[in-house]
Amino acid sequence: MFTEIFRLELQRRLCRVSTWLYTILFMLFSYCLVWGSLAGRGLLHRFYKAGSEAIYANAPYAIHMLLLTLTALSSLVAIAIFSRAANRDFISGTQELIYSRQITKTGYLAGRYLAATAAWCIVIVPMAFTALVAAKFPPTHPEKAGPSNLWHFLLPLMISVFPLILRSGLLYFSVSILFRKRAAATLVLLVQFTLYMAALSLIKTRMITLAALIDPFGIIASQMSWLSWTLHQKNSLLVGPSPLILLNHAIWTLTGVISAGLAWKRFSFREPASQQRRPVNFPDTSFKVDLDSKAETDIKIKLHSHTKTSPVTSSINQALHLTWSTFKSLIRSGPFLAVASTGFLFMLLVGYRNVGLAYDTRTLPLTSMVLDLTQNLFMVFIFILSAWLAAELVWRERNHGVHELTGSTAISTLNMVLGKLGALILVQTSLMILVMITGIIIQISQGYTQLELPVYITELFILRLPIFIQLAVMAFLIHSLVKNKLVGHLLVATFY
């Protein structure tokens, strides 16, 4: 039965037009990036210095980083592939029919997972051959292209790309199985990008080994392998399986295996416990009167007059109520608590160690220095959380299938939009307050009591907060106009 499940899932994925559109898109990405490095611009030239000075545009290390970076970017596509594979039967309503067949739990889950993994490989592998074509037949500046062969493109696939696909796919699939929601896989990707941004911040504080290990994509570990090479080595040597790369693979593969074990243990061929209806115990509303024959009972009925309010006041009250209720639901949600707590602990640990450190000399933790460090560390968290929450708020009714019911209520569209946007602004404000509290804790813990609260307020709430409000408005506009959530995420990231 494993073979039938695998074949059916892969066939369904290959019949979708989006799979081939994603494949063509990443093929164009790889070709254009190699072309750009030949012309002295683009991602490879800017971040990895390919095509500059005496370094070939198609140097082996540059091709390695190109394929690995594009694979990490394709995780936006992968969460749709794996979450769909995990929840396909529940989405189509055929779970009872499928589960009634003689099929084992291992065969069912392995078939779905491996088919989704094969589909991700189909999206990724062709871009290596387009990069090879661009390197073999450079469309411009052929003098910047060095000798290359097929092994320069196959080795990065085996060392970095395929391990990343296997372990990240295992995480996306396992979480989707556990929670039966696509948002769960999106949250995993959010945590991955957050850890990657945190790793980039750790590099600035010279914690290179820790940065390479917490990077879930392995980009920093691969970069550390060739960073100290000479020009000749960069043009000729291949990036091999260094100890840092292998240790990064081991840590994140173990994470994926643990999540897969939890998914296998909790999975059952029935409706998940989180979606089962629980019996509702209604309170006893029977009316009982025990009257004493000797007592006199007075029943008084008071009619409360209804105060009429103007339509403007009613609309304002409705918008404020929607804003507050949406804000409370957001700050109690798992993604907000996970990202906010992770960012707080990360700021606290890294900030306490590095604030007031200038050129290896310990100085006073001035408010300006604390703000520079905490903002650089936490602004990425705020951006990612704002963009993700904006998408979830816009798509919330459509994801639950109640958009038509919501549209038929007495709540106006303007109040609905203002309520959601106001709730997101309150979330951003609360995150700014968290940054200020973290900075104050760092200063007090180091014995510095001149807190300069006006500086905190000016920098965080007057200068920084309006930027994130603009981002929230733009994210709302993009997701309202675009009919695909993933495309909306890509456009918001491009805008940022």
Residue 323 has pLDDT above 80, yes or no: yes
Residue 257 has pLDDT above 50, yes or no: yes
Residue 299 pLDDT = 44
Mention every residue, 6+ apart, whose C-beta is less than 8 A from residue 187: 175, 334, 335, 338
Provide mean pLDDT across the span 145-168. Answer: 88
Provide mean pLDDT across the span 18-33. Answer: 85
Residue 173 pLDDT = 92
Residue 132 pLDDT = 83
Instruction: Output 478 or 43, whichever has higher pLDDT.
Output: 478
Give dist(CA 55, CA 62) in Å, integer: 10
| Lowest-pLDDT range of 186-190, 240-244, 416-420 | 186-190
Provide mean pLDDT across the span 74-82. Answer: 87
Provide mean pLDDT across the span 75-83. Answer: 87
Distance (Å) of CA 433 to CA 342, 358, 385, 444: 15, 26, 15, 16
With bands split at pLDDT 50, 70 and 90, how would you rate the model's confidence at 252? very high
Tell me which residue has tokens 């014995």: 447
Task: Report percent pLDDT > 70 for the chain.
Answer: 79
Residue 483 has pLDDT above 50, yes or no: yes
Give dist(CA 379, CA 64) in Å, integer: 29
Mention every residue, 6+ apart, whose C-beta is less than 8 A from residue 195: 214, 215, 216
Residue 99 pLDDT = 60
With bands split at pLDDT 50, 70 and 90, how would you rate the model's confidence at 104? confident
Is the CB of residue 451 less than 8 Å from the CB of residue 441? no
Helix axes 105-136, 75-92, angle to 10 degrees: 150
Q: Is 288 helix (H, G, I), strand (E, B) or coil?
A: coil
Indicate the DSSP class of residue 461: I
Picking from 28, 101, 54, the residue whose alpha carbon sits closest to that of residue 234 is 54
Structure tokens that stand for 175 in this block: 């979480």
Give bridge partners of residue 358 from the DSSP assignment.
361
| Lowest-pLDDT range of 91-105, 248-262, 388-402, 480-494 | 91-105
Mention every residue, 6+ apart, whose C-beta is less than 8 A from residue 230: none
Residue 263 has pLDDT above 70, yes or no: yes
Q: What is the mean pLDDT of the chain?
A: 79
Residue 412 pLDDT = 78
Q: Which amino acid is at 27?
A: M
Residue 258 has pLDDT above 80, yes or no: yes
Residue 108 has pLDDT above 90, yes or no: no
Residue 91 has pLDDT above 50, yes or no: yes
With bands split at pLDDT 50, 70 and 90, how would you rate the model's confidence at 300? very low
| Lowest-pLDDT range of 138-147, 163-172, 182-191 | 138-147
Residue 193 pLDDT = 80
Residue 355 pLDDT = 63
Instruction: Output 391 or 94, whichever has higher pLDDT.
Output: 391
**Which residues in 272-293 are b (16+ Cβ under 10 Å) and which e?**
beeeeeeeeeeeeeeeeeeeee
Task: Report percent pLDDT > 90 for the chain.
Answer: 10
Residue 237 pLDDT = 86
Residue 25 has pLDDT above 60, yes or no: yes
Is the CB of residue 63 less than 8 Å from the CB of residue 51? no
Residue 102 has pLDDT above 80, yes or no: no
Residue 163 has pLDDT above 90, yes or no: yes
Is the CB of residue 352 less than 8 Å from the CB of residue 365? no
Residue 273 pLDDT = 40
Residue 172 pLDDT = 92
| Lowest-pLDDT range of 89-93, 285-289, 425-429, 465-469 | 285-289
Is the CB of residue 61 less than 8 Å from the CB of residue 92? no
Bridging pattern class, strands 357-358 and 361-362: antiparallel
Residue 475 has pLDDT above 90, yes or no: no
Global model pTM greater than 0.85: no
Give dist(CA 235, CA 50) in Å, integer: 10
Q: Is 382 exposed, middle or buried (0-12, 13-18, 19+ CB in 10 A)?
A: buried
Residue 100 pLDDT = 62
Residue 443 pLDDT = 81
Structure tokens that stand for 254 in this block: 């173990």
Instruction: Output 184 or 213, whichever has higher pLDDT.
Output: 213
How do residues 333-387 score in pLDDT, each as one tens digit? Answer: 766 776 777 677 767 766 666 665 554 556 677 777 777 776 666 777 788 788 8
DSSP string, 430-453: HHHHHHHHHHHHHHHHTT-----H
Is the CB of residue 68 less than 8 Å from the CB of residue 162? no
Residue 348 pLDDT = 72
Residue 287 has pLDDT above 50, yes or no: no
Provide mean pLDDT across the span 143-166. Answer: 86
Could you tell me what percentage of the chain is helix, strand and coil, using 3-state DSSP and rounding each to the nearest 5? 75, 0, 25
Residue 251 pLDDT = 93
With bands split at pLDDT 50, 70 and 90, how would you rate the model's confidence at 103? confident
